[in-house]
Structure 1
């Protein structure tokens, strides 16, 4: 029987959490979750299931990952450093090339908040058992609201009927009413060889070019020129939506992709973080701050920027970030 590895994907920036999240300090490394970062929580949460750790990230994040792992006392792991982001299908392929074909990979993003405990343990254990039978397993989270910021999985028990893109509000309400639609968590479990076989079947160019880049890497550091030859494609498009081996685990653990200040707000509130009588929250500032005539707003303060937003407009922060990108502003660095 092969070994089980935890693969943590840690290449994102987290533009919707600007100004806390920057290129130099993406959201997964912010130590704002009871003195832990999301990256650290992901590593700790999966240690009980894994015989080893594989970290796939970009060169800009490498030192942040190393520092976090040193903090956790983790010094035995595989490191794959992407020269340039090519999306999740190649990233997962690199991890699969790193191990034996019969080894099982539990793949998780580094920037999600998940409540550890029996429900999480049960879901991962179930996924590993399904993966042993050559299934490619995705985790679908039971929705608690008509969320428009997540993709969905239409399911029938463990069978996947379809993958759906982020819906509008009316469609999300319909999904919630039907009861067999799950949030697509972006977490997966499979044998390395099974995944690579399906990737080769459906996206041979991604498979071949990723293999070449991996084989010619220098101590896990991928070459930029070879990396540019790899088509940039998500694992959902490359494999999940096309393979006949897909199974879904209906996960009942609390989950959020922590992709907006609304998610941060909800997590902080549940953790006992203070708000005023109208539900307004201050992050990053100890000064007295008063909200007049406002409800459910968030005030975010950093050394060089202030963001004030309505909680329900959290998804729009990405537009502010893009404006700063267009201006080549130092505030995104």
Structure 2
């Protein structure tokens, strides 16, 4: 891709991914997980648009994910262009508009490739070739949407209806008759048999000028609101935080409903590559490597006399064994287990809603809580105590803080930590421990080149994470 202007990849990275619970949760959704292979879906998406013809990616993400986005891209050698932080989720229409305004402020003719962060497209070369073939249409002012020739009567996808006479496969964008909502099985089968519909992949290519004109025509109120949010944005370390008051008044609506279904300059480009939105465990099973009996085995898992099943263990301490299972999904993490027939995989979102109604923490919170300095996870808890494992990355430091209701005992089990307690700073190595009294200011810093792992034992009447008073923080958190 060297004979055309560079394309700015815009990766939308704010979804919750509840249909892949318990692996994907609100605090750490599926785009950050290695569901297929060693790389996360976000990393795969960014690598798909790296190289000649592509600028550094522009990421639009939610506030809790800003550090993990930067960390995951850095881990695979991706230079982050800009990262826009949404103060709160407002769906894809405001997110796309914020990215367009940001790009237009630098180059109104910029070509933008808008794509989700959590889809699976194994053939990166075919994807890039398809994008390249669509560029002339985008340069001429068209809004290009990408559609996938269907292979099954899928009821979980929206569809794109081709204009009369347009071929199912083409090397260039084609006229589009309209959008079709997710159908029932009979409707999906009819569209598959008819040969005039494509799966809606939710990927778009357009110039910043063309999409801003579309917003001005079809969503002028949103254009005014999001413009204020972008104009009022402020730098936050290496990120850009959109202005919160304006942002929260933007309509919560998808870009399909707000713009694409109304635009008259829309064309569709068939995507000649295998694609999945990985919208449920059945999709993950379909895209996974399977044994001769059709079983996908992930992590520490063993199948005996099983057929067509997914067995996935996402916990190093749990070995999952299935016996005599047929067309089943069994997924285990450190703190939750999902067992369901493959045919019921689309109902996993209902599980999350049911758990939330019962105030079950596993509904949204992961057992491992990521922080810009590393992570922690709860090992054990009881009346008046909690035990955590804490991992501090090289060069990272926890905020200077205190607690009103708990004391802490720290035991370093790996690495060397510099620990601040009150006015004293001491070096603590493996097999050494320190005590932090209630109310005392404290911090852990890793000045070395190896990670620091410590065990923290909390004792007190209240052990909630909101009992933190921060006095200094390298990561700009309030």
* CA–CA separation in structure 2 for the residues paired with 1:118 and 1:78: 25
Q: Is 2:187 the counterpart of 1:171?
A: yes
Q: Would the aligned equivalents of 1:101 and 1:194 in 2 still touch at CA under 8 Å?
A: no
Aligned to 1:228: 248
Task: Could you tell me which runs of 5 or more consecutive residues in structure 1 were left unpaired when the two chains were aligned.
Answer: none
Judged with a 3 Å threshold, the aligned counterparts in structure 2 of structure 1 residues 173 and 46 are, in CA distance, closer, same or farther, namely same
Aligned to 2:144: 137
Q: 1:238 offset after TM fit, Å?
A: 1.2
Contact 2:296-2:311 at 8 Å conserved across structures: no
The separation in 1 between residues aligned to 2:355 and 2:296, in whole angstroms, is 30
TM-score (norm 1): 0.95
Shift of 1:122: 2.2
| Offset at residue 33 of structure 1 (A) | 2.3
Determine which of 258, 281, 288 is the counterpart of 2:310.
281
Matches within 5 A, 1:39-78: 39-48=42-51, 49-78=53-82
Does the 8 Å CA contact 1:10/1:110 hold for their aligned counterparts?
yes
Q: Give, in whole Å, the separation in 2 of the partners of 1:316 and 1:20.
A: 15
Alignment match of 1:307 (pick from 326, 338, 346): 338
Which ranges in structure 2 are unaligned for 5 or more consecutive residues?
A: 167-173, 298-302, 366-478
Output the TM-score relative to the length of structure 2: 0.67
Render the CA deviation track for 1:114-142: whole Å, top value 9, x for unaligned. Answer: 12244312211122221011100000100
1:253 paired to 2:273: yes
What is the CA–CA distance in structure 1 between the aligned matches of 2:118 and 2:261, rounded to whole Å?
23
Report the equivalent of 2:202: 186
Structure with more strand by fraction: 2
Q: Among residues 156, 162, 166, which one is paired with 2:178 in the alignment?
A: 162
Match of 2:322 among 262, 285, 290: 290
Distance 1:237 1:181 in 2: 19
For the structure 1 residues 288 and 211, does the alpha-carbon distance in structure 2 shift closer, same or farther, using more than 3 Å as the test?
A: closer
The SS at the match of 2:179 is strand
Partner of 1:21: 24
SS at match of 1:172: helix
Are residues 1:210 and 2:217 paired? no
Q: Could you tell me which residue of structure 1 aligns to residue 132 of structure 2?
A: 125
Moved more, 312-321 or 47-56: 47-56
Cα distance in 1 for partners of 2:346, 2:122 equals 23
- Return the alpha-carbon distance in structure 2 between the equivalents of residues 208 and 3 of structure 1: 28
Higher RCO structure (Cα 8 Å, ≥6 apart): 1
Residue 113 (structure 1) aligned with residue 144 (structure 2):
no
Number of corresponding residues: 332
CA–CA distance in structure 1, aligned partners of residues 206 and 310 of structure 2: 41
Deviation at 1:296, TM superposition (A): 1.1
| Aligned equivalent of 1:79, options 80, 83, 93 | 83
Cα distance change on mapping 1:52 and 1:301 into 2, 3 Å: same
2:98 counterpart of 1:94: yes
Q: Mean alpha-carbon deviation: is it higher for 239-248 or for 272-281?
A: 272-281
CA contact (8 A) 1:4 1:52 kept: no
Quote the residue 2:348 is aligned against. 317
SS at match of 1:328: coil
| Structure 2 contact 296–309 (Cα < 8 Å) conserved | no
